[in-house]
Structure 1
Amino acid sequence: MSRHITRSRHDGKPVLVVAGYDRPLGELFLHIIREASDTASREAVETFVYDSLDEPQKDWTDINILADTLTGLGVQVPASLLEQIYLDQIFNVGNRFVEHPAAETGGDRTG
């Protein structure tokens, strides 16, 4: 499985975007996670904003579905994230981890 991560914003709050290609399943995946701090216990609490597993009816073999989902959620990612995931899928790449700097998002919505 390839895994690509970047930091972005959703509804004005910081999120971690984790996406990639699952080689055994032959499908793409997308997780958007909001990290918040629980001040009472001082422990980090992660909340899933979006999980592609919740929408199995979508064609997760199509990179455009991933891009359209990000656009629909208003989450910007670097162009390199989508490009690299697409190449992972084309070349059936697994065991790859890439962090994409959020600064690369510029004004581009999804790459």
Structure 2
Amino acid sequence: MSQHSFDTVHNGFPITVLLGWDRPLNYFFLVIQKRTTRIDEAMQAEDGDILYSNLHENEPFNHDLEYYREVLGNFQILVPESMFIEVQHDLVSYVGNRVAKHQVDGSFTEQTL
């Protein structure tokens, strides 16, 4: 699966938007999650709250990228267009195991798996 992430702020909380293509299951996905926070000085962290996940939808696997663009719009979250472009590219090129972190300016870096 490809995973394209973008860190931003929503309602004063740091969040991560994860958009991608699941090659084996043949669907796009979107997760919006508050980033984990430290709960004590020993650097233990609690899981961030999930604001949205396609897995919480009644039909989680049949949405296109425009649907997820609307979901982000409903949350009033802006992400770089590069995320949509690259995830679409992953579908067309039948890419799996790709991880990229996107920046506001549309640039991105890929991690090697």
With normalisation by structure 1, the TM-score equals: 0.81
Unaligned stretches of 5+ residues in structure 2 = 107-113
Deviation at 1:8, TM superposition (A): 1.4
2:105 match: 104
Q: Which aligned segments of 4 or more residues in structure 1 are displaced greater than 3 angstroms?
A: 39-42
Structure 2 counterparts to residues 1-111 of structure 1, below 5 A = 1-35=1-35, 36-39=37-40, 42-45=43-46, 46-57=48-59, 59-60=62-63, 62-101=64-103, 103-104=104-105
Q: 1:81 to 1:44 in 2, by over 3 A?
A: same
What percentage of residue pairs aligned between the two structures are identical? 29
In 2, distance between residues paired with 1:99 and 1:42? 24
Q: Structure 1 50/40 Cα, relative in aligned 2: closer, same or farther at 3 Å?
A: farther
Aligned residues: 103
Q: For the residues of structure 1 that align with 2:14 and 2:22, how far apart are their CA atoms?
A: 25
Shift in Å at residue 41 of structure 1? 6.8
Question: C-alpha distance in 1, partners of 2:14/2:95?
Answer: 29
Structure 1 unmatched ranges of 5 or more: 106-111
